[in-house]
Structure 1
Amino acid sequence: MSAFDRRVSIECVLIMVVLLSSSKGGMSEEVHVKVSKSVQLHVEVTNSLEGNSDLTVSCENIDPTQHLLQSNASYQWDYSGSLPFSKPPFFCSFRWGLQDHIYNLVVPLWDFDCKQHCHWVIRESGPCKYYSTKLVCFKWLKT
């Protein structure tokens, strides 16, 4: 199973758990989901757009500042705290030209390798992340 398929499968399971736990009828037991725990992360984003395009990155839940990255430039956040599902700190927007996309750069249920440093490479087709030495790319989330 590819990393993308695994991520989609886990998202589907989470959605089902949330829907089942929020329904008032049909279940006799409560479903509890552990929301978050405290973590320390370094999350880095590198602009790898074609044609020397500038990239604006904004992760409003962690930092209200919009960061303008020129071609091949990077920005890094150092983060200590919890990763709540309701307000994920690394749910970010990415803008260049007339393009506007969103993506959640850190999801604690499957980003086990992100404990200390996550390095994302932003391309037109979607964000890519290094898993050890292998670059794995994902599709942008639908807005």
Structure 2
Amino acid sequence: MSSFGRRVFIQWVFMVLLLSLAENGISLDLHVVVTNALDGNFDLTVYCNNIDPTLHVLHYLDSYQWDFSGNVSSTKPPFLCYFKWGDLQVHTYNLFVSNWDNGCKEYCQWFIRQNGPCKYFFTKLVCFKWN
């Protein structure tokens, strides 16, 4: 087999493996922490029904942690969460996406703000928009 043929074959095998993992889910041990960092001292209600059927109300700067062990799949993400404060509409965000969330490893800490969830990448706080 030529050098080019080997490279194409290896890339094909790698892609099949990745697609299989994405379809079947990836088994992980995760610890996800959410901290209420809303301006104005609002209480934050958090609900992640794929991992925990309980509504959690967090006062300003309070945190809640979920410990998860199992498969993370794209069809039923455990950390697709709903956030509400004051009389505002409900916001959603997936706090762990296995395809790109390598910065989390086993421990993810999120700070919830009005404009969206934020987390540190090394020493820089990066914020994302709500879904």
1:131, distance to aligned residue in structure 2 (A):
1.2
- What CA RMSD, in Å, does the superposition of the two structures yield over aligned residues? 1.0
Q: Alpha-carbon deviations, 1:40-80, whole Å to 9, x = none?
A: 01100000001110000000000000100000000011110
Contact kept, 8 Å, 1:118 with 1:130, in 2: the verdict is no
Stretches of structure 2 lacking an aligned partner (at least 5 in a row): 1-18
Q: Alpha-carbon deviations, 1:25-53, whole Å to 9, x = none?
A: xxxxxxx5532110001100000001110
**Alignment partner of 1:128 out of 110, 118, 130:** 118
1:103, distance to aligned residue in structure 2 (A):
0.3
After superposing on structure 2, the runs of 4+ consecutive aligned residues of structure 1 that deviate more than 2 Å are 32-35
SS in 2 for 1:113: coil
Aligned residues: 110
**Alignment partner of 2:64 out of 52, 57, 75:** 75
Q: Provide the rounded CA distance (Å) in 2 between the counterparts of 1:129 and 1:49.
A: 14
**Alignment partner of 1:44 out of 33, 58, 80:** 33
Correspondence for 1:98: 87
TM-score, length-scaled by structure 2: 0.81
TM-score, length-scaled by structure 1: 0.74
Matched, 1:66 2:47: no
Stretches of structure 1 lacking an aligned partner (at least 5 in a row): 1-31
Larger radius of gyration between Structure 1 and Structure 2: 2
